[in-house]
Structure 1
Amino acid sequence: MASKPLRPCLHPGCTTLVRSGYCDKHRPPESARRSEKSQSYRRWYSLRIWTDELRPKQLAREPFCRDCAKRGLRVYATDVDHVEPHDGDWSKFIDSTNLQSLCHSCHSAKTIAESRAKAARRKR
């Protein structure tokens, strides 16, 4: 059986060839990976209640990005976000009043800000 072809490391600008992912120099540390708790509730996003009910109903109810609308822009929403992060709390996860529609860039910016705030709290 043939093995996977070599590809450049995923780190921007690195030309080291690897079978997949990052080279040894750029591999993220174990602490940067998701916790087991986080990995367990990431699966909720593949459940029918999310894919067939909550997500499509939210996008139908609010088809434009809420954050862009605050700035006077009319941009179609592509992502459904939890206003208050659920952090593994099932009741918060399925609460339709805790959902908002966002465009991908607004959702990414919010997610990064939440991740940084969470990391800062852990360092204290």
Structure 2
Amino acid sequence: MAIRKVCVAPGCDDMALPGLAHCDEHEAARQDKLAARRKAAKGSEVAQAGIALYRTKRWREAAKAHLRRHPLCRDCEELGALVEAREVDHIVPHRGDPAKFWDRGNWQGLCKSCHSRKTAGEVLHRAAKG
């Protein structure tokens, strides 16, 4: 039997959803806040500059070439797992700066899962700050 906990929202004494830290009401509010942060992050000037760079034919070709030369996810490889890299990540976020974007020394191959986790942390952390 799973142990149920009280919702962590201040002043709430409802039970949290199984496996989560919040009750129904506060989990919905948390998800809404997260969606708003994602939308704000994607709509920023910096994000739009990056999106334009990723849409170029030059990027698509360069990314494919990089993955052919570096076929394994760097993060998974460090953990001893051999997982195919599917995406090219900028080790240091470029924030729309073309010089950083095209610096091949700043590229690494990551699997979808590792890239999504890394990018979400960068984008959402930055959106929360500013």
Provide TM-score, normalisation by structure 1. Answer: 0.68
Which of the two has greater helix per residue? 2
Q: Which residue of 1 aligns with 2:94?
A: 86
Note if 1:45 corresponds to 2:54.
yes
| Partner residue, 1:15 | none
Per-residue CA distance 1:9-56 (angstroms, 9 max, x = gap): xxxxxxxxxxxxxxxxx7x5598331134213302112122011x201
Q: Percent identity?
A: 40
1:50-98 CA-to-partner distances (Å, cap 9, x unmatched) read 011x201210111000000011000001011000000011001011100
Instruction: Give the gaps of 5 or more residues in structure 2.
Output: 1-31
Q: How many pairs were matched up? A: 96
User: Quick check: 1:111 aligned with 2:111?
Assistant: no
CA distance in 1, matches of 2:38, 2:63: 31
> Does structure 1 conserve the Cα–Cα contact (< 8 Å) formed by 2:37 and 2:128?
no
Note closer, same or farther for the CA distance 1:72–1:31 as it changes in structure 2 (3 Å cut). Answer: closer
**Moved segments of 4+, more than 6 Å:** none
1:64 alignment counterpart: 72
Where relative contact order (Cα < 8 A, 6+ residues apart) is larger, the structure is 2
Residues of 1 paired with 2:102 and 2:129: CA distance?
26
| C-alpha separation in 2, matches of 1:116 and 1:30 | 7
Change (3 A) 1:99 1:112: same
Give the conservation status (yes or no) of the 8 Å contact 2:86–2:112: yes
What does residue 28 of structure 2 align with?
none
Cα RMSD, aligned residues only: 2.2
Aligned residue number for residue 63 of structure 2: 55
> Structure 2: how far apart are the matches of 1:69 and 1:43?
31
